[in-house]
C-alpha cells in the first residue's frame, strides 16, 4: 500500500470500488455467472471469511451487508453489491465505511482488497479479465 493511500486515510474513513477507479485493484469485478448463481457463490464465500459477520442479505436488490470489528474497537460497515450486467454476467462492487469521525489510515482499502482476493480465488474460473 502506498504512502499516498495512508495519508488520504488520515481524513477519509470510507472507500469504494467502481468502473472508473484509477487503482486497478479498486475496479468493479465481473464474473461470467448469472446473478442468482453469483449470489449463491458470493454469499457462501463471505459467510466463511473469518472476522466478518453477515448482518443482512437482500437478494432482490443484490446487497449483502457485512460488519467487521477492528482490534482497536472500531466498527466497519461493508456493503457488497451483486448486479446483473447481462443474463450470464454479473458485476460485484464493494463499499466500506468506518464508523466514527477519524480517518482509517487505509484500513477500508485493505478490507476491500481482502474481500476481493477471497472472491477472486473462489470464482477464478468465472472471472472476466479486462
Question: Which residue ranges make up each domain of the chain?
Answer: 3-126
pLDDT digits (tens, 9 = 90+) for 5-17: 566 656 678 899 9
| 71-120 pLDDT tens trace | 888 899 999 999 999 999 999 999 999 988 777 788 899 999 999 999 99
pLDDT value of position 9: 57
Answer whether 50's CB lies under 8 Å from 71's CB. no
CATH topology of domain 3-126: Alpha-D-Glucose-1,6-Bisphosphate; Chain A, domain 4 (3.30.530)
For residue 31, what are the β-bridge partners? 90, 127
pLDDT digits (tens, 9 = 90+) for 25-79: 999 999 999 999 999 999 999 999 999 999 999 999 999 999 999 888 889 999 9
pLDDT score of 70: 87
For the record, the C-alpha cell of 61 comes out as 436488490
Amino acid at each position: 500500500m502506498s504512502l499516498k493511500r495512508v495519508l488520504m486515510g488520515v481524513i477519509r474513513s470510507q472507500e469504494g470500488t467502481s468502473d472508473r477507479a484509477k487503482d486497478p485493484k479498486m475496479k468493479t469485478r465481473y464474473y461470467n455467472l448469472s446473478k442468482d448463481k453469483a449470489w449463491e457463490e458470493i454469499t457462501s464465500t463471505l459467510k466463511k471469511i473469518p472476522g466478518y459477520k453477515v448482518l443482512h442479505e437482500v437478494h432482490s436488490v443484490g446487497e449483502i451487508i457485512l460488519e467487521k470489528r477492528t482490534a482497536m474497537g472500531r466498527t466497519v460497515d461493508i456493503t457488497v453489491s451483486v448486479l446483473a450486467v447481462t443474463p450470464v454476467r454479473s458485476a460485484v462492487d464493494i463499499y466500506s465505511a468506518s464508523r466514527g469521525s477519524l480517518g482509517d489510515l487505509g484500513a477500508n482499502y485493505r478490507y476491500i482488497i481482502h474481500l476481493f482476493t477471497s472472491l477472486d480465488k473462489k470464482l477464478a474460473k468465472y472471472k472476466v479479465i479486462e
